[in-house]
Amino acid sequence: MEYIFECFFENTFDKITRNGLQDRSSRRDVLDHLNAVIGGCSDGQNMHTEEVARFAVLAAVRYHREKKSGNGDVCLMGKFHNILYIALRTCWDWGVRDSTVVVLLLEEIYSCEKTFERIFLGALFGPHAPHFIAGWRSDFRDQDENTRAMVYFLHHATSLGMQLPVWIARFEQERMVRFIDIPIESCGRSSPLRVALQASAPDLLLILLRYGAHPTPPDGGASVVHALLEKLTENGRNYVLQNVSCLQILLRTIPMIEMPYKPIIYSARRELFFEKYGRLLIDRIITKEQVYGVVSLRHLCRCRIRDLLRRNCQLPDGIDTLRLPRRLHRYIDLMEELEGPQKEDDDENNAALEKLQATGGAVSGARKRVHFAESKEEEQSSVDVEVAVEVVESLLLEERLPMEQQATMPGELPTVMEEDTADLAEEQLEMASQNDFAVVVEKPLAVEIISPMQMLLTAENSSGNSSNSDSDISNEKAEQDSCICDNKNNDSNTLDKVRECIERQLS
């Protein structure tokens, strides 16, 4: 079987010029011819096509090594190197399951190119974009097929813990980096995860993180979380949905958002962070628990479990071996978020806010007492931002209806609450004087307004209980009329006394 494929490559490549496999159509012609040979050998030898394809891939690797060794261990490139991509496509077409063969092919490609951009760029930007970025076209039909092929090679490389030496210019040394974190040469030697974030591709970001991409890429670049926060704050509050989704997915894999290391004083670092990203906290793009608070225990457990599985190259297949419920498997695998008490409270708060907005609810006195510096002349400190965030959260829990929509019965006035000012009390006193109402202060922090008729009836009822029940009804009516007349004559004196009492209470 090996001899058949060796003869195939020798005869075929002798007829092709050095740059004969540069375009995609020429590679497809050779690939179609090779697939026909694989199908014929499978029928003639009564073997599975996947096993025959495995022999074809090994023959292509041997052919490349022979030509390379004959040139002083320097790859001849051209058709002698493109044979590896024909073998790469053969692995994908026939579904070679032997991870050793697939990893051997990937290592042979890396020994010449020091990158895997032909695998990742097509999945990140589509099959046509690499032609403008790197000068070649992808061997896959569309972006979806390229993405599935990328997952195929990620699976085999992760199963064997494939690591390759990479020169990191920032550290001026070589480090062993896993296949999924190998930098892409055409993108400034950035890791695939960093390129996916720059391309605002949350679906590809999720795939890379699930298969063990490090949330802090070892390419020597800046923090990807801070870079994403900068992108979100570029246009004020006009947030791009894809960037928000990328941030939410990325925060599932890290315990907390690290603040800048300088200055050393923690309070200064926190204030610096809020000066730059305070709007994201107010708009709940990020939460204060993710920055300086206490995150949930289940999130910390997920990060720790994923870190251990990543070190052992067991993501994501190793999650299924954990003796946990299926829902927790999906939670650890970043496919599902568990709604805890905090999430339920947030849902209730959002529902309350929508209800207030729908009914045109007024802002309570607590919001009036909070001053938030929004003008250009005023400076906004971290303390102001934190207070604003806490007050907004407290306001979401309130479901007070506006004063105009409260059901007031005839002869009644609304209660003056603690947040109301002395001016509002004065207005209610004037309304009471116009409608022949008397004000009675019952509590130091609350003023209740009742009508004189209610006061009189209460007094008469208390006195009537001690008097004779067989008295004449007409005499009682006459007494009530006389009392009402006396009360009207003394309204001005009563209002003055009540006004003085209210002023003493409020002061």
Condensed to tens digits (0 to 9), the pLDDT of residues 221-275 reads 888 999 999 999 998 889 999 999 999 999 999 999 988 767 778 888 888 888 8
Count the helix, strand and coil residues of the chain and give each as a percent rounded to the nearest 5: 60, 5, 35
The distance from CA 67 to its chain's CA centroid, rounded to whole angstroms, is 50
Instruction: Give me the pLDDT at residue 252, please.
Output: 95
Query: Which residue intervals of 233-340 are DSSP H helices?
Result: 241-250, 266-282, 297-311, 326-332
Split into its structural domains, the chain has a count of: 1
| 3-state SS class at 335 | coil
Q: Indicate whether 17 belongs to any domain.
A: no
Look at 119-128, 238-247, 384-393, 484-493 and tell me which has the smallest mean pLDDT. 384-393
Can you give the pLDDT at residue 207? 97
Residue 160 in this model has a pLDDT that exceeds 70:
yes
Mapping DSSP onto H, E and C, the string for 268-287 reads: HHHHHHHHHHHHHHHCCCCC
Q: Percentage of residues in the chain with pLDDT exceeding 70?
A: 67
| pLDDT for 89 | 95
Q: Is residue 370 part of a domain?
A: no
* Per-residue pLDDT at 81: 93
- Comparison of pLDDT for 172 and 423, the residue scoring more: 172
**440-462: average pLDDT:** 45
Instruction: Please compute the mean of the pLDDT values over residues 150-155 and round it to a whole number.
Output: 96
Residue 55 lies in a domain: no
- How many angstroms separate the CA atoms of 257 and 109, rounded? 37
Give the chain's mean pLDDT.
78
Mean pLDDT across the stretch 310-334?
Answer: 95
CA–CA gap between residue 291 and residue 143 (Å, rounded):
36
- pLDDT given at position 29: 94
Q: Which residue has the tokens 């004000």?
A: 439
Of 434 and 158, the one with more pLDDT: 158
Q: How many other C-beta atoms lie within 10 A of the C-beta of residue 66?
A: 14
Q: What is the arithmetic mean of pLDDT over 86-108?
A: 96
Q: pLDDT tens, 24-69? A: 899 999 999 999 999 999 998 899 999 999 999 999 999 999 999 9
Q: Quote the pLDDT of residue 236.
A: 86
The residue range of the domain holding 443 is 412-460+480-506
Q: State the DSSP string of 389-445.
A: HHHHHHHHT--PPPGGGS---TT----B-TTS-HHHHHHHHHHHHHTT-EEEEEETT
Separation between Cα atoms, residue 446 and residue 197, nearest integer Å: 56
How sure is the predictor about 359, in pLDDT bands with cuts at 50, 70 and 90?
Answer: low
Confidence of residue 172 (pLDDT cuts 50, 70, 90): confident
Flag whether pLDDT at 77 surpasses 70.
yes
Model pLDDT, residue 266? 84
SS3 215: coil
**Neighbour count for residue 150 (Cβ, 10 Å):** 25
pLDDT at 485: 54
Consecutive H or E run containing 446: strand 446-450
Q: Can you give the pLDDT at residue 323?
A: 94
Question: Which phi and psi (to 5°) does residue 497 adopt?
Answer: -65, -40
* In a domain? residue 417: yes
Residues 6+ apart with CB under 8 A from 110: 116, 164, 182
- Residue-wise DSSP of 465-502: HHS-TTS-HHHHHHHHHHHHHHHHHTHHHHHHHHHHHH
Mean per-residue pLDDT for 464-490?
A: 51
Using the predicted structure, report yes or no on whether residue 486 has a pLDDT greater than 80. no
Strand 438-443 and strand 173-178: pairing? unpaired
Would residue 487 count as lying in a domain? yes
Residue 453 lies in a domain: yes
Share of the chain above pLDDT 90, in %: 49
Q: Is residue 502 part of a domain?
A: yes
Provide the pLDDT for residue 9. Answer: 92
What pLDDT shows up at residue 392?
Answer: 46
Whose tokens are 């590679």? That residue is 27
In a domain, 436, yes or no: yes
Give the list of residues 6+ apart from residue 105 with CB closer than 8 angstroms, or none. Answer: 57, 60, 61, 84, 87, 88, 91
> How far apart are the C-alpha atoms of 157 and 149, rounded to whole Å?
12
Long-range contacts of the stretch 443-450 (C-beta < 8 A, 24+): 444/505, 445/418, 446/415, 446/416, 446/417, 446/418, 447/415, 447/416, 447/502, 447/505, 448/415, 449/412, 449/413, 449/414, 449/415, 449/416, 450/412
Is the Cα dihedral 345, 350, 352, 353 positive or negative? positive
pLDDT of residue 269: 86
Burial class (CB in 10 A: 0-12, 13-18, 19+), 481: exposed
Q: What is the pLDDT of residues 383-404, one digit of tens each?
A: 444 444 444 444 444 444 444 4
Q: Six-digit token pair at 491? A: 């309204």
